[in-house]
Structures are given as C-alpha cells and as structure tokens.
Structure 1
Amino acid sequence: MRSLGIVASALAVAVLAASCADPESADEAPAADDVTMGVTDDSVVIGTHQPLTGPASPGFVHVSTGASAVFDYINDNGGIHGRQIDYRVEDDAFDPAQTMDVTDKLIDEDEIFAMLGGLGTPTHESVIGELNEEGVPDLFVSSGALAWDQPEEYPYSYGFQVDYSREAKVQGSFIAENFAGDDVGLLYQNDDVGPASHSGIEQYLLDDIVAWEDYDPGVPELDGQVAALKESGADVAVCYCIPAFLGMAILQAQAIGYEPQWVAPSFGGDVEIVSQLIEEYAEGTPAEDVPPEAFTDGLIITAFLPMAAQTDDPWTAFYREIHDEYNDGAPFTDTTVYGMVQATLFAQVLMEVGPDLDRETLLETLNSQEWTGPGLVPFAATEDDHSGYSGVMVVQNRAGEEPELLQEPRVTDSDGGEILPFDLDRPAPEDVPLFGGTS
C-alpha cells in the first residue's frame, strides 16, 4: 500500500461526471438556489444525525468519528476539487423527536448540501419525508430497513448497509446447512428490525424456530427474554440486536447457565464494543473476573464490510493508518470502519461529479455507475434501486485471532430469490482515484 502522503496526491484531480435520468421531473425539481445549498467555492456542508448519547450510543458513537477521520484526512490533503468537507454531526440520542429537531437545524440553520448516514430505523423514518420534500440528498442511511429503497416515494434517499431481510436470509441458510436439526431462538428489537429479519430467516428455518423474543431499546433489561430462550431449548440464539443488547444478552445467558451458539448481524456484532460493554456490565457480578473476550469467543457474525480485526485486508490497514492519525486514543472498531466506508463512498461520488457540484448532478452521478471500494459485496445505487450493499459473508470470532471465515460473501434479494456467489473486482485503496488511483 502507498503511504498516506502518496495516496493523497490525486485528491484534487477532477473526474468527468457521467449522466443519466434526473431523479425528479422538471415540475418537481427544487429551485436553482436550493440545488447548490451548502456549496461554496471552497467548502461543502453535509450533516448527519447520530446517537452520541442514549441507548444506541455504545458502539454507534464511533460511526461519526470514523467518517470525521476520513474527511479530516481528505481536507488536510487538499479537499475535493478544492472544497473542504464541512461535516456537521448532531446528537439525537436515538430519539425520533430529537431527530426531527436536529434535522430541522441541519436543513434550516446549517443549510446542509446533503444528509449522510443518518442512523437508526425509527429515528430516520421520522425525517425521511422532510428530507425528500426539501430536495436534500439523503445518502447511505445507517439502517437496514427497506424504507430507504423506495425511489418512487423517496427519490432522494439511498440505503447503505445490507437490508435486514437479505442478511437474515444468508444467516438462515447458513444455520440450516450447518446446524441442521438444532432449535433456533430469535431475540430482536421491537421496530422494523424484527419483521424484516423474520421475513428472511423464516424462509429457511420456520419449522426450527422455537422462540420469538423482542426487546425495547429504551428498556435496558433482558432477563425475561433470555430466560424464555433458555426455557425454549433453543440451541442457536440469533440476536437481531444493537451492540448494547447483544452484550447484555450474552452476559445474562451466562449468568443463568444458558450457552447457545450466538449469531449476530453486522449492525450488532462489533466484537470490540460488545466485549467492552460486557466488561462494564459484569462489574460487581460473579462474571467480573472473567476476561470479556471469553464471552464473545465463538460468536458467529455476518458482515458486508472488512472488519477491524481483519488486519490483512488492505482497506482495514489503510483505515487504521488514518484512524491512528486522526482518532488518537479512540478504539478502532467495526463501527469505526462503517463510518469510514460511508465517508469514502460519499467522497468518491463528489470526486466523480467534478467541480460543478449541485444536488441533481450528485444524484445523477451516483445513479450512473457501479461503485466499488471497501465493500465486500456489490453496491446498488441506480435510479430504480436504492438498496445499497447486497449481501454478507459469515465469520466466527476467535479471541485473540483474526475472525475465521466460515462462508464467502454471497448476495441475494429481499424476497424469495436465491442466495448466490458472485465475482467482485474489489480495488485496493491505491487503485481508487480519490486516494491516488488513475481509474
């Protein structure tokens, strides 16, 4: 890999923009002043709502720090077409009412050009209508809900992470093949995460599922749900949970002598964060003397991005360099990488647009080509498909070692389509024009 100084050399190089259909009709297009909102000759203002506090903050607080580090690196190396990226992060505490307030601020006071990576299903659902009515590009939502992939209703909104149904399909197929005959219990967040995940995993395991237990992210307690999973006899426990509740579930299970095979999705299985939370939760209990990594050893995880523990991956190594320079003292986690990939993809699109930046050209450019980079699976962003990443790999956490790859990345759809292998020409950082490549 090239050094940071070398790969930064082409940051100010313009790339000609491609063109395709306008996402809105002429009658619905925003006023000319609006399409360049937030853009000046030397900066572009973008915003995001993130749970810097509240029940989702453990782990997810690192999404915006990861994105910030990449933007700081880009800005220190000349910006994009001479513009600095002005990244405004607002705390919504994972509360939809606060999401609406901070989004109003970002649109009306900060006059953002685009929203990037707004985090959470119930939170972002509360503002998606406003963003689209105002003509604000709403890129790479940090949630696997299907709502972001509705281009006819929400032409300005685009998904990012693999949706919950696709991810659960791959999990269900893997469990059916590798844990045949085992009973399966589900623990899931009581919003769109639950139904969307069920529609995927039940395609392969409906007859094997013996428990459906939900939780409220505002209620930090899982004693009853974990006890019910144990009573059901579930050999495999699939936790469609954010990191705080995955850690809580694993620790509570150990406390009552329940030791299933835990399976976690990409949005909850950040091992570094989950282990830190388990250590915190275990204080003052009989488990406080147990190394926290012992609780996550053997955890099966699905993922669509390179993981922080995969040190041989060129993108992980590249991001680690940036992290060490711009996030000194902060942990380097999977959610850090998640934010870094979002920032990279957004910056790639800005680079491709060229110096004449406006909202309509941004979306035309996003829709116009296949985007490759850090992701392990194909990324969908076209006029008719706003779904984002299209599949996952399956790995198993091994304490003190790199994750063990159990199944190569595979892709599928959100309905009843097959789960398929694929070929992806995945570039290294130095092959990407943003970071020094020429093609």
Structure 2
Amino acid sequence: MSQHRTARRLAGLGGAAGATALLLALTACSTPGAGAADTPGVTDDTVTVGTHHPLTGPAAAGYSTISAATKAYFDYVNDQGGINGRTIEYLVKDDGYNPANTQTVVRELVQEDEVFAILNGLGTPTHSAVLDYLDQNAVPDLFVASGSTSWNDPETYPMTFAFNVDYVVEGAVLAQYAADEHPGAKVCVLGQDDDFGEEFLEGVELALGVGGVAEVQEYSVSNQDVSAQIGAMQAAGCEINMLATVNGFSALAIGTAAKLGWFPMWFSSSSGGDYPTLAGFLGEAAPQLLQGFVSANYLPFGPDGEWVELFRQINDDYNGGADFDGNTVYGMSVGYLFAEALAAAGDDPTREALVAALESGDLAGNGILPLGFSKTSHAAWNGAGITIVDAGVQDFVDAAYEVEGGEVSAVDPAPVPLENAGVPAA
C-alpha cells in the first residue's frame, strides 16, 4: 500500500449535501442477513449493476469502449441463460471524467436505480469522490478501473475491490525485467504528475533502488506538449524510458522522441501500453516506432489465445464488430470476473454473499497469474507478465513477476484456461 495514498484521497461527499445524500440513500442499503428478495438490484430474474465511465470529455477517447465491451459480454452470458437463472443488467452512466459528475451519477445509480453493486467505476480522481459514499451505504464497489493503491484497503473500505494491477507493482515488474534483461542500462521515468506517476516511480525504485533511476520527468494531462521532458531525458542519456502514461501520452512521448531522432527503449504501464491504440495514434510509422516496445499486462491478450478468440467472437456478435483492442479484453474480463463472483454468491445472492465470494480465495478470474483477493487483500493481482511488440504483434514473452512484502520475484506465468465457453457456473 502506498504511503502517499491517504494524503491524496479526495473526500467523497461533504457538508450538508453529503449528509442529505446519505440519509436519502439509507433506503438503498442492504440489511445484514437479508435475502435476495430484500437486496437492491436483485429480482427473481435479474441482477442490476451500474458504473460511471467517461463516455464524453477528455478521457473518452481512451476509455469509452470499455463499458461497451463489458455489456457485450453480459449480453452473451444472458443469451446462455444468465447466472443462476438471472440475467445481468448493466447501467452505464457518463461522468465525463469529472468528479462532481461522478458523485451525481453514482447517487442516481444507488438511490434511484437501486443497483446491486457498482462495477468498474473508472478513474482515480473520479472514483475517489464516491469511495466514502459507497462504503457508508454498504454498496459493493467492485473492480475499480484504476491502478491506484487506494482500492486495496479492506480495513477501511471492506466493500471496495481493485481490478487493475496497481501502479507500484507495474513499476516494480517493468524495472525488474529491465534489470534482468538489460543490466547496467540507464533507466529513466516519465510519469503523469499525480498518484499514477508517483506510485509507478515508487515501484521502479523498489526494484532498482532510489539511486537506480537516472532521470525523472513529469507531465500534466492538460498540456499536450512533452518536448521539454523528452529533451531532458535525451540529454540525460536515458537508454530505457519507463512510462507511467495513458495511451495518448505514450504515443506523444514516442513520437516526440522520434522527431528528435532519438530511439531509446520504451517500457510502459498497461494503462498506456496497448499496441492497437498506440498504432492508431502513431499511424503508418507505428510498426517501426513500436518495434521492441515493452509493456506490463495481466490479462489474456496473446493474439492466439483461447480467451481472445472467444472475446473476438463476442465482440463481433454482441458489440457490432467494434475495433478489437486492449479495452475490449479488459472490459470483457471485468464482466467475466463479476459473473464468476455472482455465480459463487449462490442462488440467493446478497451483497454480503458477493463480498464473501470475492474474499474466499476460490475465484480464478481469467488472468495470467493467480487472482489475489482475500479477506486481508483486495488487490486483484500482485504481479504481471511482460509483453513485447515484434513485427506489429504484441504478445507475452515467458517472463512474469510478483511483488510481495517489498520484494520482486520472477514467477512462471499461469494463464487460467477457458472453461464452459466462458460462462461461470455455480
């Protein structure tokens, strides 16, 4: 857990408005020991969950397709009979990546739509704004779409569970791979000027030591120019550039360096390491500029994998054949893990049963490493694998690492096999 986390967390709802919202929402809370008939969002035939995602605004270009992929997976499951006889209804509300909007739409989902759970709310600043509210109302807050360590705090937030591998772990995984494969190389970091960049750097230094990073540069998402940062890294003689960047800024950094005639190695967080998305930004130059591009990943993105084959078919049949990329795999993987947890919650699902299923340690997910949920940890995965782009194809290499107790260790990848056509059974 990051030492910076508490200082950064935003208050969920404050003052009189917060008190009013809390009083209004009490009617939507589940009662300990209540059956499914008394549980919000659950009927004899359906389970309703909701999310906040940026369908418009500055983050929409990078993330708006995730919820469509999740819905497509749920539609597929529903056509197979649903989970324990119930279909899954998925309500997606646009918050424009604005925390004030997030508070509004999440209150609507809880108080008016009476959802069973919030699923995969996206963004650190946005979701931080509703973290306390969801906890106070005992709403399962599942699989937050952000690598912040804030979501792994079961003592304070017992209903909140992460999904992304956190930024500290990703930084440590990438740095250890760099040390193993390129010993002595000068490693530098370009990071977003918030918890993303801070925690990623924390992970890099965990693997390499505080003196192991030659240069650190930050950027703001409000400024679409990283020329000064890239110039400083070039001047410092950086050989491996670690990126705590979203896809748009990964492409911007790589493209800016190319204009300077500089071609270092690039190692990226999964948040900014999706080859199809990067190629869309970089255009015809992408295969050349991204040759050898390294990224951390924890989901089944190998081009010949059985999960990818299934998700491609679902994407064609239920998502209108939309572009297939990392967001597609991510969104469908979120849907699969929720369906697995719902199946494990039993024929009479309650919020308490759902949380107990997640904390049981019995769920597998569909990642390349074992799922890490337990009563004492709400982190989905404690490690990641390494992908490399070769001749325009991004695929895993035989390298993966876990981070436990401040130590980074190499482990064997252990991909979860596809069973039952990707529909979890009780």
- CA change 1:75–1:430 in 2 (3 A) is closer
d(CA) in 2 for partners of 1:172, 1:324:
37
Q: Give the equivalent residue in structure 1 for 2:179.
A: 176
| 1:301 Cα deviation after fit | 0.9
Q: Give the equivalent residue in structure 2 for 1:66.
A: 69
d(CA) in 2 for partners of 1:383, 1:430:
28
Give, as a single letter, the amino acid of the residue that structure 2 aligns with 1:261. Answer: M
Give, as a single letter, the amino acid of the residue that structure 2 aligns with 1:293. Answer: P
Q: Give the equivalent residue in structure 1 for 2:326.
A: 334
Q: Give the equivalent residue in structure 2 for 1:352.
A: 344
| Relative contact order, higher structure (CA 8 A, sep 6+) | 1
d(CA) in 1 for partners of 2:123, 2:247:
13
Q: Give the equivalent residue in structure 2 for 1:306.
A: 300
Instruction: Describe how 1:14-93 pairs up with structure 2 within 5 A.
Output: 30=31, 32=34, 36-93=39-96
Instruction: Describe how 1:160-171 pairs up with structure 2 within 5 A.
Output: 160-171=163-174
Asked if the contact 1:372/1:427 (under 8 Å) is kept, the reply is: no
Cα displacement string for residues 180-217 of structure 1 (whole angstroms, at most 9, x for unaligned residues): 22222211112211221122111233334222111222
Give, as a single letter, the amino acid of the residue that structure 1 aligns with 2:277. Answer: I
Asked if the contact 1:182/1:208 (under 8 Å) is kept, the reply is: no
Give, as a single letter, the amino acid of the residue that structure 1 aligns with 2:52. Answer: H
Secondary structure of 2:272 counterpart: coil
2:400 aligned to which of 396, 409, 419: 409
Count of residues paired in the alignment: 395
Q: Give the equivalent residue in structure 2 for 1:282.
A: none
- CA change 1:340–1:425 in 2 (3 A) is closer
d(CA) in 2 for partners of 1:404, 1:140:
23
Structure 1: runs of 5 or more not aligned: 1-27, 280-289
1:421 aligns with 2:400: no
Q: Give the equivalent residue in structure 1 for 2:311.
A: 319
1:215 aligned to which of 213, 219, 226: 219
Structure 2: runs of 5 or more not aligned: 1-28
d(CA) in 1 for partners of 2:161, 2:98:
21
Give, as a single letter, the amino acid of the residue that structure 1 aligns with 2:418. Answer: A
1:252 aligned to which of 253, 256, 265: 256
| 1:250 Cα deviation after fit | 1.0
- CA change 1:424–1:400 in 2 (3 A) is closer
Asked if the contact 1:302/1:394 (under 8 Å) is kept, the reply is: yes
1:377 aligns with 2:369: yes
Secondary structure of 1:378 counterpart: coil
Q: TM-score, with normalisation over the residues of structure 2?
A: 0.87
Q: Give the equivalent residue in structure 1 for 2:290.
A: 296
d(CA) in 2 for partners of 1:180, 1:218:
35
d(CA) in 1 for partners of 2:375, 2:396:
37
1:149 aligned to which of 147, 152, 155: 152
2:273 aligned to which of 269, 272, 279: 269
| 1:75 Cα deviation after fit | 1.4
d(CA) in 2 for partners of 1:390, 1:418:
10
d(CA) in 2 for partners of 1:182, 1:196:
22
| 1:385 Cα deviation after fit | 1.1
d(CA) in 2 for partners of 1:153, 1:72:
34
Asked if the contact 1:226/1:249 (under 8 Å) is kept, the reply is: yes
Instruction: Describe how 1:84-233 pairs up with structure 2 within 5 A.
Output: 84-205=87-208, 206-233=210-237
Secondary structure of 1:412 counterpart: strand
Secondary structure of 2:392 counterpart: coil
| 1:77 Cα deviation after fit | 2.1
Asked if the contact 1:373/1:429 (under 8 Å) is kept, the reply is: no
Asked if the contact 1:293/1:399 (under 8 Å) is kept, the reply is: yes
Cα displacement string for residues 288-341 of structure 1 (whole angstroms, at most 9, x for unaligned residues): xx433322222111111111xx23211111111111111224111112101111
- CA change 1:318–1:387 in 2 (3 A) is same
Secondary structure of 1:312 counterpart: coil
Instruction: Describe how 1:381-400 pairs up with structure 2 within 5 A.
Output: 381-400=373-392
Cα displacement string for residues 262-310 of structure 1 (whole angstroms, at most 9, x for unaligned residues): 111112101101111223xxxxxxxxxx433322222111111111xx2
Asked if the contact 2:35/2:349 (under 8 Å) is kept, the reply is: no
Secondary structure of 1:372 counterpart: coil
- CA change 1:383–1:204 in 2 (3 A) is closer
Q: TM-score, with normalisation over the residues of structure 1?
A: 0.85
d(CA) in 2 for partners of 1:226, 1:95:
29
d(CA) in 2 for partners of 1:94, 1:69:
22
d(CA) in 1 for partners of 2:222, 2:362:
39
Cα displacement string for residues 72-101 of structure 1 (whole angstroms, at most 9, x for unaligned residues): 101122222222211011122222222222
d(CA) in 2 for partners of 1:228, 1:269:
22
Asked if the contact 1:183/1:234 (under 8 Å) is kept, the reply is: yes
| 1:30 Cα deviation after fit | 4.2
- CA change 1:404–1:386 in 2 (3 A) is closer
- CA change 1:123–1:408 in 2 (3 A) is same
d(CA) in 1 for partners of 2:243, 2:394:
22
d(CA) in 2 for partners of 1:322, 1:162:
25
- CA change 1:107–1:218 in 2 (3 A) is farther
Q: Give the equivalent residue in structure 2 for 1:11.
A: none
Asked if the contact 1:390/1:412 (under 8 Å) is kept, the reply is: yes
Give, as a single letter, the amino acid of the residue that structure 2 aligns with 1:158. Answer: F
